[in-house]
Amino acid sequence: MEKQTYSVGERVEKFCAKCGEERGHVVASVTKRGAISRVSCPQCGTRSSFKGGDATQRRASAKASAPYDQKRTYRAGQSLTHPTFGEGEVTAVIEQKIDVLFPDRMRRLIHARNQD
Ligand SMILES: [Zn+2]
């Protein structure tokens, strides 16, 4: 019997009914035993329950994202790790701002900041 434990903010592959494709989801909540109970889709923001067996449960190279750097220029779909908010995925780019989905909620950060 596989014994995998997860923590909030990790990535798992799951089929998103709204997006119509399997994609990396952010673990939104876990049970006391470390099993995933809810995940959120970084693309459409849909939160859905996670039943063991309805996904491949591949651990998507967790904690591999580069640290957030406001001087960098981000694109939608990129992952980053914020020192306070944790692992996030860029969902939208609005000029000098980016919307990043963190495990708890979406946050707007700055990017592409000119160094002077
Ligand atoms: Zn989705």
Q: Would you kindly state where each structural domain of the chain is located, as residue ranges?
A: 1-61, 63-116
Taking only the tens place, the pLDDT of each residue in 63-102 is 468 899 999 999 999 999 999 999 999 999 999 999 999 9
Q: How far is the CA of 40 from the centre of ligand 1 (A)?
A: 8
Q: How far is the CA of 42 from the centre of ligand 1 (A)?
A: 7
57, amino acid identity? Q
Q: Which CATH architecture best describes the domain 1-61? A: Roll (2.30)
Q: How far is the CA of 48 from the centre of ligand 1 (A)?
A: 10
pLDDT more than 90, % of the chain: 54
pTM for the model: 0.47
Mean pLDDT of 18-43: 90
Q: How far is the CA of 98 from the centre of ligand 1 (A)?
A: 18
- How many Å apart are CA 19 and CA 45, to the nearest integer? 10
